[in-house]
Amino acid sequence: MAENRYLLNAQLAQMLKGGVIMDVVNVEQAQIAQEAGAVAVMALERVPADIRKQGGVARMSDPGLI
């Protein structure tokens, strides 16, 4: 099991190597990120800076909203 997890993590690291993970809050931003070459996006309900300013913690959006 540990070997499988290591292999999965190594493969993920290889996929993301040299790329950017973008924070997005809507479909338009996700499309812009994709066109700009982002290797992944984090779909959030609000901009992380605004969440931290209010003392909160950024969490992933409900997958049903994406």
Q: Are 22 and 43 in contact (CB under 8 A)?
A: no
- Measured between alpha carbons, how far is 13 from 15 in angstroms, rounded to an integer? 5
Paired strand residues for 43:
24
The Cα–Cα gap between 42 and 33 comes to 10
pLDDT in tens, the chain (66 residues): 788 889 998 888 887 778 888 888 899 999 999 999 898 888 888 888 888 888 888 777 777 766
Domain-embedded: residue 1: no
Grouping H, G, I as helix, E, B as strand and the rest as coil, residue 10 is helix
Asked if residue 11 is part of any domain, the answer here is: no
CA pair distance 64, 3, nearest whole angstrom: 33
Q: How many structural domains compose the chain?
A: 1
- Structural domain boundaries, residue 38: 20-65
**pTM for the full predicted model:** 0.57
Residue 7 forms part of a structural domain: no
Q: Is residue 47 part of a domain?
A: yes
Residue 5 falls inside a structural domain:
no
